[in-house]
């Protein structure tokens, strides 16, 4: 992914910005205080060497770039996986409690020690320390004064940060519209399945995994990523060419772009065509209705049901329940059109020993046997992680005739397993072709 930009605003304040969003880092006697969040903030903080101790939770806001709460799930995952500092979350009572509830619905779930059952852990209590206040948070010389309109940080009696004074010049939405004006629209009908991985990384590395599937006049974006206008534009794709938005599950790296897409739907009065399992949509609706009270007026939902194929004109979408760490389910896909089939694993733990215990036919190699091309998540470093180890995916490749490409991982120039390449167009026309 493109690097974010770090700028110095004052001797106390630095700013990280990317794609029309920003967070401010304030140096204080109690360590670094971060104001707000943004998609991929865990990556951006690592890039610039920050380790914040306090996070200020401002009012929840959204633009065409995204919202200022998304990002915290992987702050916590990074702390859990790599170790880190306990984060004190400071802000008005409703804001802090709302963010905590959001994290509580997603973050605590994991596999048991045998990677068979989903269990809850106490990680949220370890890494997320809530400090809700009516107006003022005090910690010795540090004081954070907040209301719906103001956010002022003082240290030893000196004001070191006033959010109003650091409001960026210009309008994010106008900047995004200017960007889109330079991206050509694409109205060409595809006569074969065209697969474009927009991102092949994950919540900790690279551009998060998301893929565009086109056939005829349909453009289906699987797991829209953060900064939709900018990320699609890197591959000369116009945001408004997307006809359908498909979400496989509720982990943050798979729903980063949801709020930006909702905001564009709100701005132009065009409903988002959502393809999503009922259980996944229930959580999306629960989490984002406080930001979008009009959410149900902004979407048209076509449910993905593993027991029933979904037909979009000439395109057929089959789905399955994966083996992954959310109780609401995660979805794997087979998308067929023009006599060809594309498979998308979604986040899943493919392991032949686990499958032998679970005895679920849809988790075996047989499910992807009809596919000409499969993108399968892959993990190189840890065979015991919640993702599919590359040796297991290698075994899957031997069991099916179609080509498998790994994704949801760091790109390795000398990878032991073939990887999907961001921005390449894979055409299922006879054999798999790359353009």
Q: What confidence tens digit (pLDDT) does each residue in 78-107 have? A: 998 887 778 999 999 999 999 999 999 999
Confidence tier at 312 by pLDDT (50, 70, 90): very high
Domain boundary among 169, 187, 221: 169
Together in a domain, 94 and 214: no
Residue 433's pLDDT is 67
The pLDDT of residue 168 is above 90: no
185: nearest Cα among 268, 241, 224: 241
Together in a domain, 180 and 55: no
Domain containing residue 259: CATH number: 3.60.15.10
Beta carbons of 193 and 215 less than 8 angstroms apart: yes
Domain containing residue 80: CATH number: 3.60.15
The pLDDT of residue 431 is above 80: no
Question: What 3-state DSSP class applies to 368?
Answer: helix
Instruction: Give the Å distances, CA to CA, from 210 to 168, 200, 257, 346, 406.
Output: 30, 7, 10, 10, 13
Confidence tier at 430 by pLDDT (50, 70, 90): confident
Rg of the chain (C-alpha set): 22
Together in a domain, 367 and 390: yes
According to DSSP, the residues that pair with 193 across neighbouring strands are: 428
User: Using CA atoms, how far apart are residues 367 and 380, in angstroms rounded to an integer?
Assistant: 23
Beta carbons of 249 and 287 less than 8 angstroms apart: no
The pLDDT of residue 432 is above 80: no
Average pLDDT of the chain, as a whole number:
95
Question: What 3-state DSSP class applies to 328?
Answer: coil
Confidence tier at 1 by pLDDT (50, 70, 90): low
- The size of the chain, in residues, is 435
Confidence tier at 169 by pLDDT (50, 70, 90): confident
Per-residue pLDDT, averaged over 319-342, amounts to: 97
Q: What are the pLDDT digits (tens) for 16-70?
A: 999 999 999 999 999 999 999 999 999 999 999 999 999 999 999 999 999 999 9
Cα dihedral 420, 421, 427, 431 sign: negative
As for how many domains the chain has, the answer is 2
Beta carbons of 387 and 379 less than 8 angstroms apart: yes
Together in a domain, 162 and 177: no
Residue 434's pLDDT is 72
Domain boundary among 133, 151, 169: 169
**Model's pTM, two decimal places?**
0.96
Residue 2's pLDDT is 64
User: Using CA atoms, how far apart are residues 170 and 383, in angstroms rounded to an integer?
Assistant: 48
Range of the domain at 109: 5-169
Instruction: Give the Å distances, CA to CA, from 125 to 67, 116, 139, 156, 278.
Output: 24, 24, 20, 30, 29
């Amino acid at each position: 992914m493109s690097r974010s930009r770090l700028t110095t605003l004052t001797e106390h304040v630095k700013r990280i910005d990317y794609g029309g969003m920003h967070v401010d880092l304030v140096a204080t006697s109690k360590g670094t205080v971060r104001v707000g969040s943004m998609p991929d903030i865990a990556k951006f903080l690592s890039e610039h060497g920050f380790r914040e101790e306090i996070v200020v939770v401002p009012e929840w806001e959204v633009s065409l770039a995204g919202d200022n709460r998304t990002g915290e799930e992987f702050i916590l995952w990074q702390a859990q996986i790599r170790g880190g500092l306990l984060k004190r979350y400071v802000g008005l009572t409703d804001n802090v409690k709302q963010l905590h509830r959001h994290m509580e619905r997603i973050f605590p779930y994991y596999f048991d020690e045998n990677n068979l059952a989903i269990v809850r852990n106490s990680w949220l209590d370890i890494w997320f320390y809530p400090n809700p206040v009516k107006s003022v948070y005090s910690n010795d010389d540090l004081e954070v004064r907040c209301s719906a309109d103001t956010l002022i940080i003082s240290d030893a009696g000196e004001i070191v940060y006033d959010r109003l004074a650091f409001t960026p010049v210009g309008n994010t939405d106008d900047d995004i519209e200017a960007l889109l004006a330079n991206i050509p629209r694409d109205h060409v009908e595809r006569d074969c399945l065209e697969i474009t991985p927009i991102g092949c990384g994950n919540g900790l590395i690279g551009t998060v995994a998301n893929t565009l599937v086109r056939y005829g006049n349909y453009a289906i974006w699987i797991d829209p990523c953060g900064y939709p206008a900018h990320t699609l534009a890197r591959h000369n794709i116009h945001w408004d060419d997307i006809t359908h938005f498909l979400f496989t599950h509720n982990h943050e790296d798979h729903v980063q772009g949801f709020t930006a897409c909702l905001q564009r739907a709100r701005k132009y009065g065009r409903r988002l065509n959502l393809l999503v399992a009922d259980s996944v949509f229930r959580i999306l609706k629960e989490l984002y209705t406080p930001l979008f009270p009009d959410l149900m007026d902004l979407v048209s939902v076509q449910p993905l049901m593993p027991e029933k194929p979904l037909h979009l004109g000439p395109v057929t979408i089959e789905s399955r329940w994966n083996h992954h760490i959310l109780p609401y389910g995660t979805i794997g896909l087979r998308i067929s059109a023009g006599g060809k089939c594309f498979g998308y694993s979604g986040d899943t733990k493919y392991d032949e020993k686990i499958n032998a215990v679970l005895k679920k036919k849809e988790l075996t190699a047989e499910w992807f046997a009809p596919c000409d091309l499969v993108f399968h998540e892959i993990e190189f470093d840890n065979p015991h992680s919640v993702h599919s180890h590359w040796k297991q995916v290698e075994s899957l490749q031997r069991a099916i005739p179609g080509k498998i490409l790994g994704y949801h991982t760091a790109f390795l120039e000398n990878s032991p397993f073939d990887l999907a390449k961001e921005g390449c167009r894979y055409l299922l026309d006879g054999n798999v072709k790359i353009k």
